[in-house]
Each structure stands twice: as structure tokens, then as C-alpha cells.
Structure 1
């Protein structure tokens, strides 16, 4: 996928699509790495490219824009999630609840396959650059297995055959069937934070690129 949102605006700047082999191998680019790459691009070239590529929406301009984008994703946000799932089973002896708690780390990415030339608007007269970001999506959700905790709560005395059999089955289902969907739901709750982070980072990135040149360009990221 054409991946790198930081280069979404400045992706146009990558006339040669130069990236480190390490970044290309991982498929994920951070803002810090991107800044180092883009910082060497002359400001005049950036402005010329913006003016050239965004002045019209055509198949040619879209193709040219996509041709400038490196094959990477941009990591725009990361977070730690508290994930907890439980199952209950009732038999004639009573009810048993098995609860599994395990934190997870989530990354949020932007996919530039979904980005079009009309997402960048450059008003040369007003010196105004407007960026509309593609949708921020959940990337990887990685459980911290070493921090897993399992709690079994019962209102009756459980014999060994239950602890090693049916209770163990409940625990297994929590891991295999319930945990991943629950972690994804928790990650979805953080999407607004990820979107704000993406906008802020893109805005800051572009300002860092422009300000050293004394530029009066106004940058708006939506």
C-alpha cells in the first residue's frame, strides 16, 4: 500500500522516493524518520510540487502524486490498552466466573492508498496549505502475554475435575475467542485520540520543515 501519511503532504516531496532500506523492510515509517528524510528537500521544490500537483484534479496528477509516494505506512499514534474478558458457567453446584486480564499495545496507521490529490489544497496567493488526512486505522494490537492474569471466582467448592477440565476450557475460550475482539473494541475507543495525534503531528512536521526557511505559509490539517 502507498503508506506514509507524513508524506501525504510531503509525499509529493519525495521526487525520488528515497527511503532507508530498513524503513522499507518494516513497512512502517515514523514521523522522526520522515522528518530526517524530508528535511533535505528544498522548500522551493516543495512549493512548486504542491502547486503543480494540486492545481487540478486529473488522472495524470493523481498518477504522478502516487508515483512520488514511498511504499510505507505512517505510524501516527500508539497507546496502551487495559483489556479484560470473562465467562461464566452455571451447573447444579453453582456459578463459576473466569476472568482474564491482559494489557495490549496498539498502533494506529494511515494508509495512503486512500489518499487522493484533492486531499491537498495549496493556495499560492494566500500562502495557505490545507491537508485532509485519510482515515486513521488500527494497525497492530499486541497482547502483553507476560502480564496476563486469570482469576476464577466461584460460589461453590470446585472439585479438581472441574478446575482442570471445564474451568480450563473457559479460560482457553477467553484467550482464543474473546480476547482479540475485546482488545479491538478498546482500540476503537482511542481512535479520536489517534486522529488528533495524527493532525497535530502532521501540522508540527510541516511547520518544522517550513519555519527554518522563514516561511509565512499557513498550515491547516483536517
Structure 2
């Protein structure tokens, strides 16, 4: 069992654990190779977290490239969405869209995810509409919005469908946190690291379904998201 965390530290840790496990669960569901997950929270509530996701995938066609870009966007969005889940186990796990948007835009430290999403959006749009005139600002904006709305809706559905797995894994991560000894000063940092093999042994990870981004690349035995 973990060292007992102060209430404020545990609450912040759960928020960030939900974020990282949102990335992790979405990545596994969409076929990315995953590694470990780390989490660090200090007594003054500074935090750092990470989920190891391998981006190397075979891409042999334009359609495969489009699928990869959309899947990567979904993985990035999933962290902020999952972070909005309430900490209480009994509470309904639903994505708070305004809060998730605020997290992505930098209010709570996910601005790097947002910057990556914006670049991927433009790259995906450029591939989907190769003949667009660069000065067609209104048309480009409309295409980007339609694309963003579609990816958001798909991501939100999966995140909410996998909410119990995300919450269970986030709770396990926080329960594993221990205070780090500091030479010469008072210890003020709690941390945990779950390696890839450790996560692979968890029932919640083993139960994550394999999903597809687009129906035209999925077999009949795989659940489709439209």
C-alpha cells in the first residue's frame, strides 16, 4: 500500500492520473504499442506525468496515413477529456467539454497536447483537401471545424465507454505513489512508475478492446466507430 497522501495531493494526483490513463487506454484501443506510465506530484501541487506510446507504425498508403493522424489526434484529446472525470468513485464518468477544452488550451498544463493536435489537424486537412487554395480562409476554417468536431465526438464516445477502465487504472497508479527521500531537505514529492509489463498484467488493461478509427480499414470482427 502507498504512503497516505494529503487530501489535496491525492486529488491533484487523481486528476493527472486520469489524464495519463486517458492517453494510455485510447492508445491501446487504437493499436499503438504502449509502455509505462509515470506520475509525480509535489506537496505544493506541481505535477508531471507521462504515458509512453510508440508512434512507429507501418504506413503504406494515404488512407493509412489519414487513419494514423486521426488516431494520434484522438490519443492526444483523450487525456484532457479523461482529466475531467470526477474523483469520487461513485460519480458518473462523463466528459466535461468546456473543462476539457480549457485544459487543452493551457489552463492546467496540456498546452503541448493542444499544439500537437492543431498541427495534426492541418496536416490531415491538407491531405484530405489537396486542391485547396491557401487564401480560402473561410472554407479552410469550416473544413477544420468539421474535422475537429468529428474527431472530438469519436474520442469522447470511446473515453466515456472506457471510463471505468481509465478510473480503475488511475486509482491504481495513485495508490502506488510513495514519497521520495530528499537528501538535506524535507521530502515533498510523491511519485510512482508503472512499467509496461506491470500494466500488461492488470485485468483492466487486458480488457481494453481493440477499436478502429475508420470503418473502411476494419474487419467485421472489430467494433466500428462512426
TM-score, structure 2 as length reference: 0.32
The structure where helix makes up a greater share of residues is 2
In terms of Rg, which structure is larger? 1
Asked which structure has the greater RCO (Cα within 8 Å, sep 6+), the reply is 2
The structure where strand makes up a greater share of residues is 1
TM-score, structure 1 as length reference: 0.33
